[in-house]
Amino acid sequence: MKPPPSDPPPFNCTQAALPEPKETQARKISELPKMSLRSLRACMICSIVQPQAKFSREGCPNCEEFLELRHNGDAIAEATSSVFEGLITLADPENSWVAKWQRLQGYAPGTYAVKVVGVLPEEVIAAAENAGIKYIPRDGSGEVEQ
């Protein structure tokens, strides 16, 4: 004969996960890094999104070889845009179907814009093509600049 099922232990409210007080939540939010969305820019070649200061400090992780953005404010202004739509974060661009769809395979992991609005100067397009990059505007037009 089976023993009768045992009753669960009584509920102990001191062990329950209670929501944090609003003061604790506010403190945690205040500890997050301060970054204005206004400082974000997207590379018009690869569409990676970074703060302007990071483009200045480190350049573009995908295009630095030919864009030479590091410590060059004029080049950053020419080759990046503050006008972009949608964000995609890629951890594994080589195996991501989203990376393939957005033509991001082979790029560094990071956050990318779906669309980037802006017009690249002809010399920047030529530099990309000389580096073996076929420039396709990322503004949704899908047309190759001539």
DSSP states of 81-144 as a string? ES-EEEEEEES-TTT-HHHHHTT-TTSPSEEEEEEE-----HHHHHHHHHTT-----TTTT-PP
- The tokens describing 112, both together, are 């990318």
Report which listed range, 21-25, 69-73, 89-93, 133-137, is most confident: 69-73
Do 104 and 93 contact (CB within 8 A), yes or no?
Answer: yes
- The tokens describing 11, both together, are 């509920």
The full set of domains in the chain, from first to last, is 40-130 (3.30.40.210)
Report which listed range, 17-21, 28-32, 119-123, is most confident: 119-123
Mean pLDDT of the region 101-112: 94
Percentage, residues of the chain above pLDDT 70: 72
pLDDT at 19 > cutoff 90 = no
Q: What single-letter amino acid sits at 101?
A: W
